Structure 1
Amino acid sequence: MSHDVIVIGGGLHGLSAAVQLARRGQRVLVLEADRIAAYASSASAGGVRTLGRDFAEVPIALAALEMWRGITGLVGDDCGYTEGGQVKVAETDAEFAQLAARVRAMRARGWAHEELVDRDELRHLLPAIAPHCVGGLVVRTDGFATPYRTALAFRRAAEAAGAVVREGAHVIGLERSAGLWHVALADGTRDTAPIVVNAAGAWGPRIARMAGEMIPLRFSAFMMLLTSPLPPFVTPVVGATGRPLSFKQLASGHVMIGGGHKGVGDLDTGRVVLDIDRAAYSAKTALELFPVLAGSELVHIWAGIEGVATDDLPVIGPGRSEGLVHAFGFSGHGFAIAPAVGAMVAQLALDGTTNLPIAPFHPFRFRADAAP
Structure 2
Amino acid sequence: MSRRLNVDVAIIGGGLVGSSAALALRTAGIDVALIDGRYCGAQASGVNYGGVRRQGRPPEQLPLAQRAHAIWPRLKALIDIDGEYLRSGHLKLAADEADMAALEIYAAKVSDFDLDLELIGHNELHRRFAFLGKGIVGASFCPGDGHANPRLVSTGFAAAARRAGVHVLENSPVTEITRNGAGFALEAGEGTDIAARIVINSAGAWADQFAALFGEPVPLTRIYPSMVVTEPLSPVLNVNVGMEGGGIYIRQVERGNCIVGGERGMPLADADFSRPSGEGALAMMNRAAALFPGLAHAHAIRVWSGTEASMPDRNPVIGPSRTTPGLIHAFGFSGTGFQIAPGVGEVLAELVRDGRSTTPIEAFSIARFASNAATSINRTIHGSGAGQNLEPQQRGV
TM-score, normalised to structure 1, is 0.94
Contact 1:308 1:331 in 2 (8 A): yes
Output the CA distance in 1 between the equivalents of 2:56 and 2:271: 34
| 1:189 alignment partner in structure 2 | 192
Which of 264, 267, 278 is the equivalent residue of 1:265? 267
What aligned pairs does 1:250-289 form with structure 2 within 5 A after superposition? 250-259=253-262, 261-265=263-267, 268=270, 270-289=272-291
Q: Is 2:346 aligned against 1:343?
A: yes
List structure 1 segments (4+ residues) > 6 angstroms apart after TM superposition. Answer: none
One-letter amino acid of the structure 2 residue matched with residue 345 of structure 1: L
**Aligned residue-pair number:** 369
Aligned to 1:354, what secondary structure does the other structure show? coil
Output the CA distance in 2 between the equivalents of 1:298 and 1:4: 47
One-letter amino acid of the structure 2 residue matched with residue 257 of structure 1: V
Q: Is 2:33 aligned against 1:29?
A: yes
Cα drift, residue 268 of structure 1? 4.8
Output the CA distance in 1 between the equivalents of 2:17 and 2:267: 20
One-letter amino acid of the structure 1 residue matched with residue 282 of structure 2: A
Contact 2:236 2:295 in 1 (8 A): no
CA-based RMSD of the aligned residues comes to: 1.8
Pair 125,155 (structure 1): closer, same or farther in 2 beyond 3 Å:
farther
Which of 131, 136, 159 is the equivalent residue of 2:134? 131
Q: How big is each residue's C-alpha offset from its partner over 1:218-241, in whole Å with a ceiling of 9 and x where there is no partner?
A: 011110111122210211000011
Pair 240,322 (structure 1): closer, same or farther in 2 beyond 3 Å:
same
What aligned pairs does 1:305-344 form with structure 2 within 5 A after superposition? 305-319=307-321, 320-344=323-347
Contact 2:10 2:34 in 1 (8 A): yes
Aligned to 1:155, what secondary structure does the other structure show? helix
Output the CA distance in 1 between the equivalents of 2:93 and 2:274: 30
Percent identity (aligned): 34
Aligned to 2:84, what secondary structure does the other structure show? coil
Cα drift, residue 148 of structure 1? 1.4
Contact 1:174 1:211 in 2 (8 A): no
One-letter amino acid of the structure 2 residue matched with residue 290 of structure 1: F
Contact 2:115 2:142 in 1 (8 A): no
One-letter amino acid of the structure 2 residue matched with residue 329 of structure 1: G
What aligned pairs does 1:112-151 form with structure 2 within 5 A after superposition? 112-151=115-154
Output the CA distance in 1 between the equivalents of 2:361 and 2:103: 26
Pair 247,125 (structure 1): closer, same or farther in 2 beyond 3 Å:
farther
Which of 75, 78, 82 is the equivalent residue of 2:82? 78
Contact 1:175 1:211 in 2 (8 A): no
| 1:233 alignment partner in structure 2 | 236
Pair 268,364 (structure 1): closer, same or farther in 2 beyond 3 Å:
farther
Q: How big is each residue's C-alpha offset from its partner over 1:277-308, in whole Å with a ceiling of 9 and x where there is no partner?
A: 23322222212211221111111110110000
Aligned to 2:26, what secondary structure does the other structure show? helix
Cα drift, residue 117 of structure 1? 1.1
| 1:298 alignment partner in structure 2 | 300
Output the CA distance in 1 between the equivalents of 2:62 and 2:270: 34
Output the CA distance in 2 between the equivalents of 1:354 and 1:266: 39
Contact 2:12 2:200 in 1 (8 A): yes
Cα drift, residue 160 of structure 1? 2.5
One-letter amino acid of the structure 2 residue matched with residue 75 of structure 1: I
Cα drift, residue 123 of structure 1? 2.2
One-letter amino acid of the structure 1 residue matched with residue 316 of structure 2: P
Contact 1:169 1:185 in 2 (8 A): yes
Cα drift, residue 112 of structure 1? 4.7
Output the CA distance in 1 between the equivalents of 2:286 and 2:95: 15
Output the CA distance in 2 between the equivalents of 1:367 and 1:209: 11
Aligned to 1:322, what secondary structure does the other structure show? coil
Instruction: Name structure 1 gaps, 5 residues minimum.
Output: none
Output the CA distance in 2 between the equivalents of 1:209 and 1:93: 44
| 2:379 alignment partner in structure 1 | none
Contact 1:175 1:210 in 2 (8 A): no
Cα drift, residue 255 of structure 1? 0.8
Pair 298,330 (structure 1): closer, same or farther in 2 beyond 3 Å:
same
Aligned to 2:367, what secondary structure does the other structure show? coil
Output the CA distance in 2 between the equivalents of 1:102 and 1:179: 47
